[in-house]
């Protein structure tokens, strides 16, 4: 149980719980590795300060999370594309070139606070938009910025 969720009553505890399933495509579901917040944080924490396309008028915010490259390294999946899926059934394919060029963040906190599902949490895929100008005006990266991430398949 994450510390930020301690005050949340048991009825909605699952709603804010961080859980990520990581696996290779074609493997049985039982082979998937499941990461909770502490385990993700153990992989490596990085902070990126940037605006995001779904809140362009807002000032840049401080996002904290694990770089996708660290997750991919867990399964030695370098060079492969990623299929990133969400709790609401949405998914997007991230080409390997995105990871090698931009190394997006799988963020679990915004401005030091956990991200509630109503705010596109608990895990949000954040590209470093302000660090790479070409990202912010491009709808493709908006589509690849998956909210409510709960599953990553290495293809």
Please report, as ranges, the residues that interact with another protein according to CB under 8 A. Answer: 8-16, 53-56, 87-90, 116-120, 136-139, 142, 147-148
Closest CA to 98 of 50, 136, 135: 135
Cβ proximity to another protein, 53 vs 69, nearer residue: 53
Q: Least Å distance between CB 132 and another protein?
A: 14
Cβ proximity to another protein, 90 vs 97, nearer residue: 90
22, 152 Cβ separation under 8 angstroms: yes
Closest CA to 98 of 79, 122, 74: 79
Cβ proximity to another protein, 65 vs 120, nearer residue: 120
Whether cis (ω within 30° of 0) applies to the bond prior to 70 is: no
Q: Least Å distance between CB 144 and another protein?
A: 12
Q: Least Å distance between CB 146 and another protein?
A: 12
Closest CA to 141 of 109, 72, 93: 93
Handedness of CA 50, 52, 53, 57 (dihedral sign): negative
Q: Least Å distance between CB 11 and another protein?
A: 4
Cβ proximity to another protein, 17 vs 43, nearer residue: 17
């Amino acid at each position: 149980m994450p510390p930020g969720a301690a005050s949340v009553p048991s009825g909605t505890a699952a709603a804010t719980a961080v859980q990520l399933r990581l696996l290779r495509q074609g493997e049985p579901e039982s082979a998937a590795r499941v990461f909770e917040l502490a385990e993700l944080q153990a992989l490596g924490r990085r902070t990126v300060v940037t605006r995001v396309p779904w809140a362009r008028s807002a000032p840049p915010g401080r996002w904290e999370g694990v770089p996708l490259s660290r997750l991919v390294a867990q399964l030695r999946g370098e060079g492969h594309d990623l299929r990133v899926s969400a709790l609401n059934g949405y998914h997007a394919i991230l080409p390997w070139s995105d990871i090698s060029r931009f190394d997006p963040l799988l963020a679990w906190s915004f401005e030091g606070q956990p991200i509630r599902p109503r705010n596109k949490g608990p895990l949000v895929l954040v590209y470093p938009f302000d660090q790479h100008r070409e990202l912010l005006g491009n709808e493709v990266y908006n589509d690849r910025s998956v909210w409510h991430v709960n599953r990553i398949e290495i293809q």
